[in-house]
Amino acid sequence: MECLTISNLCKTYIINKRQNNVLRNINLTIQSGEMVAVMGPSGSGKTTLLYTVSGMDEATAGKVDFFGKELTKLSANEMSDLRLQEMGFVFQQMYMLKNLSVYDNIILPAYQVAKGNKKQSREQIKERAKMLMQKLGISEVSDNAVTEVSGGQLQRACICRSLINQPKIIFADEPTGALNKQNSIDVMNELTRINEEGTSILLVTHDMKVASKCERILYIEDGDIRDEISLGKCHVGDNLPARERKLNDWLIKLGW
């Protein structure tokens, strides 16, 4: 089943009357349950792609379908409901509320879902948040204010929050960007596990090790998908160095 179908997507920013065509005619399909990485040079349009596809930013032209629903036709309210209930976000600028604890930030999206649409009871939300914090290793800082945790802990809290409403897809922009090697491996293992349970994942990364755990890698340059490579699903016990070598050879060919 197709999760996301992106057709002829364009995004143009205009600054001081100068036009910047950041996304030029992107065509892309993400299957339900797929885990896809987006790589490419700085400024090539990776973050813009995530923002535009998820309706955080308006497309200049083109069409995005999410499980057959045309996102580009939804009203702002419909789009924000859908984002809240069906999508999870782990972004570079982390939209955490500074005066709330880690735990409260994580459960907030669950309470924001309109009453009639609630997927989870209060008790289920609490249990799920606890389970997620435990898996990501941040239970000890659950009651800390988000200003009182490390960058890596905050990043992991963001992942917990993105998962609280059991989304169909997760958009992640450099989800391991602020993490050390071990935390980065933990986060990727967690994302892989979530993906195995059926959640689609579209992530942006500069890290080859992170990308090599994904099923398919896209290379964006100047707002265009220049090439892609399929490595197949990554399972526990897979030959990671072999996947990394294959990816590395491909990236070198692209001049990365």
Ligand X SMILES: Nc1ncnc2c1ncn2[C@@H]1O[C@H](COP(=O)(O)OP(=O)(O)OP(=O)(O)O)[C@@H](O)[C@H]1O
Q: Which is nearer to ligand X, 47 or 153 (CB)?
A: 47
Q: Which is nearer to ligand X, 1 or 14 (CB)?
A: 14
Residue 40 Cβ vs ligand X, minimum distance, rounded to whole Å: 6
Question: Going residue by residue from 44 to 63, which x/- string records binding to Mg ion, judged by CB under 5 A?
Answer: ---x----------------
Question: Going residue by residue from 45 to 84, which x/- string records binding to ligand X, judged by CB under 6 A?
Answer: xxxx------------------------------------
Residue 251 Cβ vs ligand X, minimum distance, rounded to whole Å: 14
Residue type, 95: Y
Q: Which is nearer to Mg ion, 75 or 93 (CB)?
A: 93
- Partner that binds at residue 15, options ligand X, Mg ion, none, CB closer than 5 to 8 Å by kind: ligand X
Which residues touch 91 (CB under 8 Å, ≥6 apart)? 50, 158, 171, 172, 173
CA distance 88 to 107: 13
Size of the site for ligand X (CB under 6 A): 12
CA distance 19 to 218: 25
155-158 contacts: CB < 8 A, separation 24 or more?
155/90, 155/94, 155/179, 155/183, 155/187, 156/183, 156/186, 156/187, 157/96, 157/102, 157/105, 157/106, 157/133, 158/90, 158/91, 158/94, 158/96
21-50 positions binding ligand X, by CB under 6 A: 22, 40, 42-48
Binding site for Mg ion (CB under 5 A): 47
Binding site for ligand X (CB under 6 A): 13, 15, 20, 22, 40, 42-48
